[in-house]
Structure 1
Amino acid sequence: MKQYLELVKTVMENGVRKQTRTGVDTISYFGAFYKVDLNEGFPLLTTKKMQWKSLLHEVLWYLSGENHIRNLRKHTKIWDAWADENGVLETAYGYYWRHFPSAQRNKNGEWVVREVDQIQYVMDEIKRNPNSRRLVVSAWEPGNATTSKLPPCHYTFVFNVNDGKLNCHLIQRSGDIALGIPFNLAAYSLLTQVIAQQV
């Protein structure tokens, strides 16, 4: 896929070597951007082996809203290192997509925490108002992100409908260009297609 290979070239040629908290150096490039047109085909890289079943099960796990990795272990073990001893992943993307904590006032004026199902909101909003500029889903919860083992890397995505077609803009704070980026590209392309079929 041309866009991905150009991204790799940009990072390798213009990136800056940085030390990380893990002691492993990285090559960092801030603000990289590329577009993929799903009308031209599904962006599953052919320059490396991609585990389709793992990808599919991970996207389904995200959509389930679970934060326990038991249903992932059959097809991928990548999250095992980040889960606690009970198998709970405190920064599970899908959990925050489906159960985002939102402080709101109740009828007595007291602050209470309620859960927001961002995926359901976005699907309902697309049906109600496809021109909405509020089609945002976030997995970044500052209180959790500052204390967790692995704060979300791909933390926000925004949908937009143009000419009856659903577009997705993914934002990542960090990404392993050899492992994570190709996987995320395919996963969010699949997610976009799933949401488009539902709305």
Structure 2
Amino acid sequence: MTRPDDTPAAQQPLADFSQCHAGILRKLDGLEELPALLAPAARARELAECSVEFFCEAIFEHHLDEERELFPAVLTSATPEERGRLQAIVRRLTDEHRALESLWKRLEGDLKRVAKGQAFEVDTEALQTLVSQYRAHARYEEETFLPLAQAILGRNGDHMAALGLALHVRHTPMPVPAYV
């Protein structure tokens, strides 16, 4: 009868398999976490993509609407006594637009890469600054400028109608002539 060799050297091949299994099981534990991580990663890509589209299509357009249509309409309709204060408010809002747009430009490339799943690094400090400054900008505009604009443009219905028409024309696509 032959007895198995109980020396450590004789058991080494089996120990190697056992160690290999331990390593495989550790990797499988990590792999098991993947489904829980996919949803947040997909949400990050979606948020980044929507933010890029929104800034490029809506926010920049909004700033242009204010600067080309709203601000001039209010300034033109203001009394001489109102004009100095309004000019300071409009200057502040326009300066804030440029600062916010500059912050956005710093973030845009990283967000585009996140949207494509290429990177997950974003300047979080700049992102938080953008969000907090935009909230403050919107709050100031809502609480200070827009009530003043309503009072000034509301004194003459034609002025409000002219602003509405200017905005409509600005956002209505021009028909493309058909060539036959």
TM-score by length of 2: 0.27
Structure ranking higher in strand proportion: 1
